[in-house]
Each structure stands twice: as structure tokens, then as C-alpha cells.
Amino acid sequence: MTALIQASGLTILRPGGSETVLQGVDFQIRPGEIVTVVGPNGSGKSSLVRALLGHMPLAAGRVERRAGLRIGYVPQRVQVDTTIPMTVRRFLSLPRRVGDRDAARALARTGVEGVEARQLTQLSGGQFQRVLLARALLHDPQLLVLDEPTQGLDQPGIVAFYKLIEEVRRQTGAAVLMVSHDLLVVMRASDRVICLNGHVCCEGTPQHVSSAPEYRALFGAESEGTLALYRHHHDHDHSHDHHHHAGAH
């Protein structure tokens, strides 16, 4: 098995109900690949991620994770309660303790060096997402799983975050599985896009997906913008893009 995670025929039921959230989904992610799952609200994106991680019971199908696969995970909408006093440094040591040097290195890698002594609740939204990413990077993951990592960030923050993801992939060689709402930006950062709506509507390169009728039916007007932006980006950044990909594989 060359894939890090390989799933076939995944069917998931709504908790406590009999309606299906996902039906017959096949999925795989290979080393070093950036795969993005897009889809409307309630399309089963987070359920897919949880099923792949083994946090969700399957009604049918199977998930195979490579033996000993190290996953760094940033869940959706991580909220840290103000009732728990928690410094960034202490947070990085949960649940596995890490040394000061490893902690500092991970924070530097995600662009938030020196915030160790700050309380989690004192960080801005963007800083907090970077700390979460740093924590996910601590134990040398082969796969990063990020569920809507840019929620609550403004547009420049979103662009900067995806740049950071590409940077991390280039430095560490980790594969990245992302769930996202940010159609416009996310497309550029991905090698492969999966468009989900209870089942896989369409799948392929960002360019392929953004011009697919299924995708356009699902996202309507917003997809026009994606396509325009994608082409724009593609025209101007083509050589850079290829260079980048060559470096990653």
C-alpha cells in the first residue's frame, strides 16, 4: 500500500439516526500530497475526516491507515475555555510532553516564535491557528489533517495561512488533508480537490474540479470567482508553481 490512508465504500450514518451523512465514498491520500475536501455545510466533510481518523463508526466500507502512521490533527473550531489557565508552552506538552527546544522549533516553523509564555486566550485568531499547527507538527507527522483551519481569519490571514501550509509541506514532506470553505484560496494550495455532497461529486486537480459542472452546480456564483482566480493565478504563476511541485516530490 503506497497510500497513507486508503478508504473504500465509506458509508456513515447521522449519530442516532438512520439517514446517511456519507454514502459509498472512496478516498486515498499519498505521501507528500495536499488534498482538499470542499462541499457545502452538512455535506459530510468533517464526518469524512473523523472516519478517516477512526473517530467515527462506519455503517459500511473500510479504512486502512498505514501501520504506525503519525498524524498531526487540527480539529474544527477548537475552542479553549477561559476557565483553564494555559500557556502556549504547557499546551504544546499535552498530552505528550515535549522539550523546550522542540517546542520553540515548532513555534518558529509556523511563524509564532516566542509566544511560549502567553496564555492561549490572549492569542489572536491567526496566532492561535498557528499554535495549533505547531502542536500538530511536534511529533514529526507524515500526515497533517486540518479541519477548516482558517475559520475566523480575515482574507489576508487566510492567504498567509495557506502559504504557510505549502511551506510546511515543502520543509517536512508531510501530506496534508484539509477541509475548507475558502474556495477561492484553497484551490491554489492543493494538488487534488474532492468535492463532497453526501457522496463524491467530482474529484481531481483544482482546475478540473473548478470547471466541472457538478462543482459549479453546487457552488454557483462563487465557483465563477474560483475559476477566474485560478486561471489568473495559473497564467501568472505557472513556472513558479511547477518549480514548487518539483521540489515537493
Partner 1 sequence: MLDDFFVRAMLAGLGVAAVAGPLGSFVVWRRMAYFGDATAHAAILGVAISLAFHISIYAGTTLVAAAMAAAISALVSRGQTVDTMLGVLSHSALAIGLVAISFVPQARSDLSAYLFGDILAVGPGDLALIWAGAAGVLGLLAWRWQRLLTASLNEELAMAAGIDPRTERLVLSLALAIVVALSIRVVGSLLISAMLIVPAAAARGLSRSPERMVGNATLIAAVAVMAGLWASLYLDTPAGPSIITAAAAIFMFSQAFRRA
**Which CB sits closer to partner 1, 103 or 218?**
103
Under the criterion CB under 8 A, does residue 119 sit at the interface with partner 1?
A: yes
- What are residue 144's DSSP bridge partners? 72, 176
Under the criterion CB under 8 A, does residue 55 sit at the interface with partner 1?
A: yes
What residues numbered 174-203 form the site for partner 1, per CB under 8 A?
A: none
Q: Which one of 3, 59, 78, 229 is in contact with partner 1 (CB under 8 A)?
A: 78
Q: Which one of 42, 57, 70, 94 is in contact with partner 1 (CB under 8 A)?
A: 94
Q: Which one of 87, 142, 151, 205 is in contact with partner 1 (CB under 8 A)?
A: 87
Under the criterion CB under 8 A, does residue 121 sit at the interface with partner 1?
A: yes
Binding window for partner 1 (CB under 8 A); candidates: 3-11, 82-90, 162-170, 219-227: 82-90
Q: Which one of 48, 53, 107, 143 is in contact with partner 1 (CB under 8 A)?
A: 53
Under the criterion CB under 8 A, does residue 90 sit at the interface with partner 1?
A: yes
Binding window for partner 1 (CB under 8 A); candidates: 2-10, 27-35, 77-85, 159-167: 77-85
DSSP of the chain = --SSEEEEEEEEEPTTSSSEEEEEEEEEE-TT-EEEEE--TTSSHHHHHHHHHT-S--SEEEEEEPTT--EEEE-TT----TTS--BHHHHHTSSS---HHHHHHHHHHTT-TT-TTSBGGGS-HHHHHHHHHHHHHTT--SEEEEESTTTT--HHHHHHHHHHHHHHHHHH--EEEEE-S-HHHHHHH-SEEEEESSSEEEEESHHHHHH-HHHHHHHTHHHHHHHHHHHHHHHHHHHHHHHHHHHH-
Q: Which one of 33, 43, 47, 73 is in contact with partner 1 (CB under 8 A)?
A: 73
Site for partner 1, rule CB under 8 A: 53, 55, 71, 73, 75-76, 78-81, 83-87, 90-91, 94-97, 119, 121-122
